[in-house]
Amino acid sequence: MLALPLAGFAAEPGPTLTAVAQPAPAAAIDADRAFAYGLAYDSGTAVPRDYEQAFRWFMLAADAGHVEAMNRLGIFYAMGHGVAQDYAAAIEWYRRAAERGSASAMNNMATAYFNGLGVPRDYAIAARWLEPLARSGDVRAQNKLALLYEYGLGVKKSRRKAFELLQQAAAQQYAPAMANLGAMYADPTSPKYDEKRASLLIETALKMGLPEGMRQVMANRLDSMHLGLDL
């Protein structure tokens, strides 16, 4: 059985920092550069990590129309980084970015509805945000949507669809999907039961790197398989 809280229903930051020079005065900055400075302060690359400064630069970039800066502002409001935690404000920024085509923001809207953060919990709406992304090949959405199909949350329960979505994401070397696919193969009640394939997928995902909570559960699952236990 898949481990529902472990599969990546968390904030999706979007693009990461490649290189950045020292910040310039805000009046002389364009949206892309302001976003890069926000990333620098967010990650502590080339400058000391400073969430308040990162928030300021992301706001400047968002005000200038930078879509991924809008998504980052949503994350900052959700996490309380550089600003007071405010899930309603996070949703508003996610929505702005999602409506402008940000895949990360669409994933974050799904996560918000999945967890009931800033909006009432609604698995059906979460699924609606994920469906077009999954069809386009977004591995994060495929992985999340697979869980909804596995448990029948907001969609009609279908282990077949869950399996197909995880296969698609695993084929793109997305570690959480590989681990979840391995868990499906490890389920003795599944028609896809294949302990060797399960072990290989989970071992590979662990080597590639998983979120901490998921890593521990999958490591325990692997140990139980090696010991011949049925968890």
- Position 223 scores a pLDDT of 85
Q: Is the pLDDT of residue 91 over 90?
A: yes
| C-alpha to C-alpha distance for 76 and 70, rounded to whole angstroms | 10
| pTM beyond 0.85, yes or no | no
Q: Which residue has the higher pLDDT, 22 or 5?
A: 22
- Say which DSSP state 228 is in: T
**Which of 19-33, 146-160, 168-182 bottoms out in mean pLDDT, i.e. has the lowest?**
19-33
Tokens representing 12? Answer: 């999706």
pLDDT tens digits along 57-88: 999 999 999 999 999 999 999 999 999 999 99
- Residue of 163, 131, 132, 133 lying closest to 146 (CA atoms): 163
C-alpha distances in Å from residue 3, one per residue of 82, 214, 218 = 32, 8, 9
State residue 133 phi and psi, 5-degree precision: -65, -45
Confidence of residue 7 (pLDDT cuts 50, 70, 90): very low
pLDDT tens digits along 9-50: 566 776 655 445 455 555 447 999 999 999 999 999 999 999
Domains for the chain: give ranges and CATH numbers: 4-159 (1.25.40.10), 173-231 (no CATH)
- Position 230 scores a pLDDT of 43
